[in-house]
Chains A and B, each alone.
Chain A
Amino acid sequence: MSSTVARSLGWYRLPIIVIAALASLLLIVPFLILVSTSWTSGSFILFPPEGFSLKWYGEVLSDRRWMGSFGLSLWTSLLSTLIATVLGVSGAIGLTRVRSKVAARWIRTLFIVPIALPPIAYAVGLYGVNMDLGFLRGTLVTLIIGQSLIALPYVFVIVSGGIARIDPALRPAASTMGARWPLILRTIELPALLPYILSGTLFAFVVVFDEVVLAVFLMPPGMQTLPLRMLNASQEAFSPELTSASTLVSILAILVLTILPISNAVRRARQQRRIDAGAKSPVAAPLEGVTE
């Protein structure tokens, strides 16, 4: 694959690769710098860090406020992601049942719109809803609903990608065998989409966990999600607790998101080994006499 494209670039290949390599530095270096300042033994965020100590990780992990925020972020993000997943999968599958091409296009546009929605305008609007519907004031309902909306497009896009890969003949085939749509859904489509649903859910979770603008406007006083605490910490004293917390959260996200592809790869390798072992048995001798 790549060799054909590589050859087509001719001598431009090298400069392009160099540019991309430099761009990758742009992507990695800031993060590395942040990580390095978290193991400082001093009291300030400095680059380069003074000494090496993991004490700030200890500080963050033992600080009730940080851990409290972490817990709050965790369950609000989980809830929002769950809602987004159910609705996103439902919408992605439902879209395939729509007859009119025009309607399908508009629905698809709608599902993707939240990515383009300016978070602050949305936050202000949700805040207004909170004010107007007094019973919501002080609850996390609007926050969770807002976060669900933000997460929806990510689930939708990834699951739609998976739907495009399913053999379109499976559904009509199943219905000719008498299966009604809930059964088809449960036994054929959802299992086939499972990896995409998982991947979409994980990705949406990471996005929602990071969400801070809604939290700024919608968190009741006294409660702070983790990103909100981090943001406030960055405006006040620049303590290494902040960078330690950032590093921990990032490591967690990376772990969560690499678990899926790694376990897939392990599973596939095991399957392949089984297939190779089975294929070693001798093939039946061809028919003698007439060959075609």
Chain B
Amino acid sequence: MTIALSVSDIHVTLGHNHVLKGVALDVRPGEFVTLLGASGSGKSTLLNVVAGLQSVDSGHVLFDGVNVEKRAPQKRNVGVVFQSYALFPHMTIGENVSFPLLAARRPAKERRAVADEMLSLVQLPGMADRSPASLSGGQRQRVALARALAANPGILLLDEPMAALDKQLREQMQVEITRIQRKVGITTVSVTHDQTEALTMSDRVAIMRDGFIVQVDTPEALYRRPADEYIAGFLGEANLLPTIGGMILDTQPGATGDGVAVLRPEDLEVVSADSTASAWSIEGRVRLLSFQGSRFRLELLTDAGRRIVCSLPPAADVAALVVGSRARVACRNPDRVHVISTGALVAEPVAA
């Protein structure tokens, strides 16, 4: 029973803060979209708007084309996984999972059957009689997911789902949740500030800032072709260099040309000092060379005072890269370079 979600022109003011300033987004049925942004960007507020926990000043929320922005949260048939999971401590796991059915007054036999089915789906079979306190963090998250899916909702909402997990568990659960979501095929919107999580799990990512959505695209498109410097810097490391007419301008930090080139550290390689083979090259003094296991991290300081970060493969010849010596790095493949034209240095809010 998966549906299409659409929000348009959403304005929300909380106290004196204009938190959402005309947000629009379309999510296709079965799609996994993540709202990615720093705190204060409005992403959690937008999620609450979809859930019905936050009312809007103006704008529309449509489930399969039907306006629901005035509908009570109880009646929207959405499933939510809350940041701290919000399991009911006095109920067993099975009772927690079948709670949405209890609220819908389904008979006990049906509730038990659905609870068992959901718990198998999240790979916690046979846990129905345990209590939430006896479970680990990762297990509790899965129970929360099972509960969210139990009543066969039209939309699944995830509120910073990985926030409470440690790093290793996080990576594991990112894969796990994506798997379950694909299997069930439910339209999903997730909120996070962790860009790795967003890039790993989503079909598309919507970057939010200051109450706007600034770019919506697939993870790879966002990484390769960010719409502005903020986005470029937000997703991974980026060397942002001003350009004029397609050439790098190595000037003081703060100078602007007619565009900004985004050079990813992993796309740069060390070239000989006099090589001018590539337009996308720059030279400086070695400031740092450190071995990071799978890569070398090289930092250069250009004469104009810019810091350039490169990520070199383990097989690279680093013998000549002594701190203080000069080196030149370049991106040999011009397709890997993305130039943001100055006119669009701050991306306009978009709808997608």
**In the docked arrangement, what's the CA distance between A287 and B306, Å?**
9
Are A288 and B306 closer than 8 Å at their CB atoms? yes
Interface window among B98-106, B234-242, B315-323: B234-242
Enumerate 6 A-B pairs (CB-CB under 8 Å) in ascending A order.
Answer: A289-B239, A290-B238, A290-B239, A290-B308, A291-B229, A291-B238
Choose from A285, A287, A288, A292 the contact partner of B237 (Cβ within 8 Å): A292
B324 at the interface (CB under 8 A from A): no
In angstroms, Cα B264 to Cα A194, docked, is 55
**Complex contacts, B241 vs chain A, CB 8 Å:** 289
Task: Mark contacts of A267-292 with chain B using CB atoms, 8 A cut-off: 1 yes-contact digit, 0 otherwise.
Answer: 00000000000000000010111111
Chain B residues positioned under 8 Å from A290 (CB to CB)? 237-240, 306-309
How far apart are the CA atoms of A191 and B232 in the complex, in Å?
Answer: 48
The answer to whether A291 touches B307, judged by C-beta atoms less than 8 angstroms apart, is no
Contact across chains for B240 and A291 when beta carbons are under 8 A apart: yes
In whole angstroms, how far apart are the Cα atoms of A292 and B238 in the complex?
Answer: 7
8 Å CB interface, B206-246 against A: 229, 232-233, 237-241
Whether, in the assembled complex, B254 has its beta carbon less than 8 Å from a beta carbon of chain A, the answer is yes
Nearest-CB residue, chain A, relative to B263: A290
When A and B form their complex, which 5 residue pairs have the shortest distance between CB atoms, in order from nearest?
A288-B253, A291-B233, A289-B306, A289-B307, A290-B307
Most buried by B among A285, A290, A291, A292: A290
Please give 20 more A-B residue pairs, beta carbons under 8 A apart, in addition to A285-B254, A288-B306, A289-B306.
A288-B253, A288-B254, A289-B239, A289-B240, A289-B253, A289-B307, A289-B308, A290-B238, A290-B239, A290-B240, A290-B306, A290-B307, A290-B309, A291-B229, A291-B232, A291-B233, A291-B237, A291-B238, A291-B240, A292-B237
Residues of A within 8 Å of B239, CB to CB, are 289-290
| Distance, CA A292 to CA B241, complexed state (A) | 14
- By a CB distance below 8 angstroms, the chain B residues around A291 are 229, 232-233, 237-238, 240
Considering only CB atoms, which chain A residue lies closest to B253 in the complex? A288
Complex Cα spacing A290 to B232, Å: 10
Interface residues of A in 236-292 (CB under 8 A from B): 285, 287-292
A292: chain B residues at CB < 8 Å are 233, 237
Q: How near does chain B come to A284, taking the closest CB pair, in angstroms?
A: 12
Residues of A within 8 A of B308 (CB): 289-290
Query: Interface range on chain A: under 10, 10 to 19, 20 to 34, or 35 or more?
Result: under 10
Query: How many whole Å from A29's CB to the nearest CB in chain B?
Result: 36
Nearest A residue to B240 via CB reads: A291
Contact with B along A136-175 (1 / 0, CB 8 A): 0000000000000000000000000000000000000000
Minimum distance in angstroms from A3 CB to a CB of chain B: 10
A292–B253 CA distance with the chains assembled, in angstroms: 16
A128, chain B: closest CB distance, angstroms: 50
User: Chain B contacts of A287 at CB under 8 A?
Assistant: 253, 307
How near does chain B come to A225, taking the closest CB pair, in angstroms? Answer: 50
A-facing mask of B277-308, CB < 8 A → 1, else 0? 00000000000000000000000000001111
Chain A residues lying within 8 Å of B305, measured Cβ to Cβ, are 289
Residues of A within 8 A of B240 (CB): 288-291
- Cα(A292)–Cα(B237), bound, Å: 5
A residues in contact with B233, CB < 8 Å: 291-292
Nearest CB of chain A from residue B252's CB, rounded to whole Å: 8
Chain A, range 210-225, C-beta contacts under 8 Å to B: none
Within the complex, the shortest CB–CB distance from A249 to chain B, in Å, comes to 41
Chain A residues with Cβ below 8 Å from B232 are 291
Which residue of A has the minimal Cβ distance to B233? A291
In the complex, what residue of chain B is closest to A285 when comparing beta carbons?
B254
> Chain A residue with minimal CB distance to B299?
A290
Q: Which residues of A contact B238 (CB under 8 A)?
A: 290-291
Among residues 168 to 213 in chain A, which have CB atoms less than 8 Å away from a CB atom of chain B?
A: none
The complex places the Cα of A108 from the Cα of B280 at a distance, in Å, of 73
Query: A240 to B309, alpha carbons, bound, how many Å?
Result: 87
Assembled-state Cα–Cα distance A292/B239 (Å): 9
Q: Write the nearest CB–CB distance from B281 to chain A, whole angstroms.
A: 16
Once the chains are docked, how many angstroms separate the CA of A4 from the CA of B253? 48
Output the nearest chain B residue to A291 by Cβ-Cβ distance. B233
Task: Tell me the nearest residue of chain B to A292, going by C-beta.
Answer: B237
The residue in chain A whose Cβ has the minimal distance to the Cβ of B304 is A289
Cβ contacts under 8 Å, B237 to chain A: 290-292
Complex Cα distance A168/B16, Å?
35
CB proximity of B256 to chain A, nearest CB, Å: 10
Which B244-290 residues sit within 8 Å CB-CB of chain A?
Answer: 253-254
Q: What are the residues of chain B within 8 A of A289 when measuring CB–CB?
A: 239-241, 253, 305-308
Contacts of A288 in B (CB 8 A): 240, 253-254, 306
Give complex CA distance A94, B182 in Å: 58
Taking CB atoms and an 8 Å cut-off, the chain B residues in 91-135 that contact chain A are none
| CB-defined contacts of B309 to chain A, threshold 8 Å | 290
Closest Cβ of chain B: how far from A6's Cβ, in Å?
Answer: 13
A289 to B263, CA, bound (A): 11
Residue of B nearest to A4 (CB): B53
CB distance from A12 to the nearest CB of B (A): 15
Closest Cβ of chain A: how far from B235's Cβ, in Å?
10
Docked pose: A287 CA to B307 CA in angstroms: 9
In Å, the complex CA distance between A288 and B239 comes to 9
| Whole-angstrom distance between the Cβ of B265 and the nearest chain A Cβ | 9
CA distance A285 to B237 in the complex (A): 19
- A291, chain B: closest CB distance, angstroms: 3
Please give me the residue from chain A that is nearest to B236 by CB atom: A292
Give CA–CA (A260, B18) in the complex, Å: 35
Min distance, Cβ B314 to any Cβ of chain A, angstroms: 22
The residue in chain A whose Cβ has the minimal distance to the Cβ of B265 is A290
Within the assembled complex, what's the spacing in Å between the Cα atoms of A288 and B240? Answer: 8
Closest Cβ of chain B: how far from A283's Cβ, in Å?
A: 15
